Chains A and B, each alone.
Chain A
């Protein structure tokens, strides 16, 4: 780490001049394997689950082929932990360091991040330990099945939703309140819901966060690097995945319209939906070559409204179907409704999904979708 101390000091100085403020950042040099581990689990000391295993495998594979591989990771904690990859070149790590300060500034100043739990690192560790005790007490298979069910329903969290009535329409909150769970089961469900909310917040600000970090990185590096190095960096920046390039382009547009001060304000108050809604123009859609692709007639729609609508919908519902809990007539009833009747759900997943929900609800679970009523009870799935 010593060789980077001078660069870090210089980056901090420049960042302060730009008006950025952040909580302390701790840098750590780490192996690719460790980065893959944290990236797949989301937090370094989270409980071990097979689901991360699949992601871990994929990331390791990408790292071996060095395509789009992850160069850095920052955790939204206080202090913020940043992992640099040992195999990065010096220039790559300088890039990464500048990028990290963008994230750290975002974590500390963005309005939505004020609600996030900066102590999640310790929380996750505590959860993992609790789950291990339960495994010892109730049996590993029982707890693993419970974790599968909880992780499945946890996809319905919304970190932004504060209205209790609307929250209850979301399955995970409904189950937490009403499901006939053993105390330890409820505790596991709560723990997983908390972790899911932490990640949900990160997702809902993903484009803004990555866009801002890339924007800061580019602004700082233009000061810091020689022309030749800068040219090399530009190639790196263009090759990044969509959230980076899209967010970067959007912040660039804001600066052109409202100056750097405007960009600073945007990073404070915006999350993805607002950023996209207010900033995305036809010109940007064309430049970024974004479009809505319909595989049925192989058509591309490049209209800004269509792209915007789809992006915002993905942000609001994470590209997942909108399934709501219907108000129950009877305390043992659980009826789920797919809100957009017109769109078809993948039927192969329905049985497994309902089985997972049934594992927590323990009474018959119904789902209205695809023009049918699916019921899952002790005997399995039936359709009407």
Chain B
């Protein structure tokens, strides 16, 4: 039997890679564009041997590739050939790419270790979800379970094939070629339980440590919520001067720039409520609270409106420097003391994130329609 040395080496490499990424999570997580093409690409020098190298902005030898090379748009398709000429078969620096999901799992692992969150009771996937409608098998596909074979389509396919290939009208079925199966129409699965709207401030001031802290918090929120309520509907909004809905991947690939209009964030979040009235609705908004001066009054009104329409509105004041709470955040902190379905968290460091999550998760568990109003928290997450 052949020993697969390549696979053994790769296994070793991947083990080390995980350790390495865990160690460098903080640096990694605050990249401007975290997700590119569905992958998290690290900018760190990666699992290379630590030989010395020149800094990044040194000149290098390149060859034109007629515009199809890597090397980025501004480089007019110049392709660096340093790795090919200089090295052996390895590129100068193998950049690590991870699927976004893989990355989130990794981050969650690290963060949970750091946080020492109380062990939540693990709910088996799907077990928690109550759904009346069984999946309806009303779509057809070429791949499926043999019990769900659709005879009509299969026989038709076989007839057509026999005519085409042998020129005879014959039902000589070969399921590998002719099979059509009933499958579940993915659009028909309606077993969401609640709606979670994540709103993130991406104005110019949200970078570096701000971004790192916010992303860590959101990863943890996902972890907790996704594990318990795997089928919840999740929607993502980013705002600066204007707000936009994004996919989850895009949510982490937008660059911070521009001014802050918190009102636009609330407004967009409320648009997400269209057609989901039967669910419990949660809004999570993260910002540093420095809304543009002209926006203050409007933001107040929108916040009040959001409180009326969402079952729970969580406001995270991102404050890695641990300065005082001012501006719009101060106002929200004040309101959160009075309103039962409002929470306020001052996110200073991972410890405060832990506090915030703990408080918040108990509210989601006990909350929801009908329950939310019975639990009054005058304290908010952490004041």
Binding site for B on A (CB under 8 A): 33-34, 36-37, 39-42, 45-46, 48-60, 148, 151-152, 155, 199, 202-203, 206-207, 241-243, 288-296, 298, 300, 307, 310-311, 314-315, 318-321, 323, 338, 343-350, 352-353, 355-356
Contact = CB atoms under 8 A, between A and B. Distances in A.
Contacts of B82: 314, 319
B47 interface: yes
B53 interface: yes
Contacts of A356: 49-50
A298 B75 contact: yes
5 contacts: A40-B89, A53-B10, A152-B50, A243-B84, A314-B82
A292 to B, nearest CB: 5
Contacts of B49: 51, 148, 151-152, 155, 356
A41 B52 contact: no
B88 interface: yes
Given A60-B6, A241-B81, A349-B50, 8 more contacts: A40-B6, A48-B5, A53-B13, A56-B7, A207-B85, A290-B61, A344-B54, A352-B50
Contacts of B152: none
Contacts of A206: 85
A346 B89 contact: no
B9 A345 contact: no
Interface residues of B, number: 52
Contact of B62 (A60, A291, A355): A291
Contacts of B80: 293
A50 B63 contact: no
A53 B52 contact: no
A62 B75 CA distance: 23
Nearest to A289: B64
A45 B8 CA distance: 13
Nearest to A199: B88
A346 B57 CA distance: 10
Interface of B: 2, 4-17, 44-64, 74-75, 78, 80-82, 84-92, 94
Contact of B89 (A39, A57, A311, A323): A39
B6 A353 contact: no
A356 B52 CA distance: 11
Contacts of B89: 39-40, 42, 55, 59
B63 A289 contact: yes
Contacts of A60: 6
Contact of A52 (B2, B6, B60): B6
A345 B62 contact: no
Contact of B51 (A291, A296, A353): A353
A113 to B, nearest CB: 17
Contact of B5 (A41, A148, A315, A349): A41
Contacts of A314: 61, 82, 85-86
Given A51-B13, A318-B87, A349-B51, A37 B6 contact: yes
A323 to B, nearest CB: 6
